[in-house]
Amino acid sequence: MTYAMQPGIRVSEIFGPTIQGEGMLIGLPTVFVRTGGCDYRCSWCDSLHAVDSRFRRDWEMMSTDAVWQKVIALSGGQRLMVSLSGGNPAIQPLGALIDHGHSEGYRFALETQGSVPKEWFADLDVLVLSPKPPSSEMTTDWAAFDTCVEAAQDKPRMALKLVVFDDDDYAYAKDAAARYPQLPVYLQPGNHTPPRPGNEDALIDMAGVMNRMEWLIEKVTRDRWFEARVLPQLHVLLWGNKRGV
């Protein structure tokens, strides 16, 4: 699909190349375009600088071409994966960026909570849907989530990625997986020490994260839920909640 000129993209940061730190593309060299703004306010959000309106002054409204020139400069013209993240990148007009990047041989992955469907989901190479569990204090609109799945038209590689802090989150993850048996499932232990305004680089309780991962592996194994893959946030283990890595 070819997209006409679209309004500017609200950008929190563009950085890389670095590794993708989580989910189905973990370890893959990637350039990140992190957009600003989100329709959710998860209690444990680890990217408040791209979510909370108090950081709006740090976000830049950029044209599709300006974003793309930054991606080209960072990648050195090598055709890497470009990860569209946020916040919720689905609230931004990204269709033209994806269309142009594909014309130059790049690939695009996007992660969203599945609250805002876009027709350009079908143009992605990878779509990660990450509905938020009870610990987030958000409520999933499954009808909207269904519409996001339908918008992708089975064209990109798709997966579910679920954060798990406790038993309620685990039960939610199992329910979500049962709703979408066609999608591979990635489980991620919750980040125990999310950054707060003015303290974005707070040290992570690494022992807590790893204990949670061990607990999650034991739960999955005991339940013989062998379809689920349990992975850490590799970037958190390496760099904590630092921005731009």
Mean pLDDT of the chain: 90
pLDDT (tens digit, 9 = 90+) per residue, 75-98?
999 999 999 999 999 999 999 999
d(CA 10, CA 36): 5
DSSP string, 74-134: HHTT---EEEEESS-GGGS--HHHHHHHHHTT-EEEEEE-SSS--GGGGG-SEEEE----G
pLDDT (tens digit, 9 = 90+) per residue, 92-102?
999 999 999 99
d(CA 205, CA 30): 26
**Residues 22-28, mean pLDDT to the nearest whole number:** 93
d(CA 147, CA 77): 35
Query: If pLDDT is split at 50, 70 and 90, which confidence band does 57 have?
Result: confident
Residue 205 pLDDT: 75
User: What percentage of the chain carries pLDDT values higher than 90?
Assistant: 75
Give the tokens for residue 10.
């609200």
Every domain of the chain and the residues it spans: 9-239
Query: If pLDDT is split at 50, 70 and 90, which confidence band does 137 have?
Result: very high
DSSP string, 18-54: EE--SGGGTT-EEEEEEE---S---TT-S-GGGT-GG
Whether residue 7 is predicted with pLDDT greater than 80 in this model: the reply is no
Under CATH, domain 9-239 is a member of which superfamily? Aldolase class I (3.20.20.70)
Backbone region of residue 81 per phi and psi (left: phi > 0; alpha: psi in -120 to 50; beta: other values) = beta
**Residues 18-30, mean pLDDT to the nearest whole number:** 93
d(CA 201, CA 63): 29
Query: If pLDDT is split at 50, 70 and 90, which confidence band does 46 have?
Result: confident
**Residues 118-145, mean pLDDT to the nearest whole number:** 98
Query: If pLDDT is split at 50, 70 and 90, which confidence band does 2 have?
Result: low
| 3-state DSSP assignment of residue 245 | coil
Give the tokens for residue 63.
């044209």
Q: Please give the helix or strand (H or E) that residue 172 lies within, else none.
A: helix 167-179
Residue 35 pLDDT: 96
From 89-93, 133-137, 221-225, 231-235, the region with the lowest mean pLDDT: 231-235
From 148-157, 169-178, 233-242, the region with the lowest mean pLDDT: 233-242
Query: If pLDDT is split at 50, 70 and 90, which confidence band does 209 have?
Result: confident
CA distances from 164 to 70, 80, 157, 171, 183 (A): 34, 30, 23, 9, 18
d(CA 150, CA 43): 28
